[in-house]
Structure 1
């Protein structure tokens, strides 16, 4: 398994969708809860966040590789699909 690093913002609606998707997917696949996961609220640690190449939140890295970065207009079902890809990538490590 590889660690997931997620950058998010407390005031981000897309981040809320990602957290909802994570919760849903972990309830269906409890093994996802075993994946090492670090969540960074970018406004609370901007110096650390600035070291990474992303523009929008949420953004997910797995093992140092950017796997998904949100974009404007993203609907929940697509967000859930992308979050599941992140989880599967980390689980396959």
Structure 2
């Protein structure tokens, strides 16, 4: 199992959807609860966030590989599917 790093901003609507998706997915599949997730609010930890290659939030890394970076116009269903892929990748 690999560690996930999630970059987000408190005032980001897509980030709020990703947090909601994480909560729902963990209720749907308790195995996801065992995954270590480091959540980084990028405006509070800019030096750490600058070490990673991404433009938009939320962005998820599994280990050192970027798995998902949100883009404008994503629906909640799309974000939830991407977050599920991140969790499945971490479990594999």
What band does the TM-score fall into relative to the shorter chain?
A: over 0.9
Deviation at 1:70, TM superposition (A): 0.3
Residues matched between the structures, number? 92
| 2:39 equivalent in structure 1 | 39
Rounded Cα–Cα distance in structure 1 between residues aligned with 2:52 and 2:69: 12
TM-score computed with the length of structure 2 as normaliser: 0.99
> Segments of 4+ in structure 1 off by > 4 A?
none
The gaps in structure 1 that reach 5 residues or longer are none
3-state SS, counterpart of residue 84 of structure 1: helix
Deviation at 1:77, TM superposition (A): 0.3
Matched, 1:57 2:57: yes
The gaps in structure 2 that reach 5 residues or longer are none
Backbone CA RMSD of aligned residues: 0.4
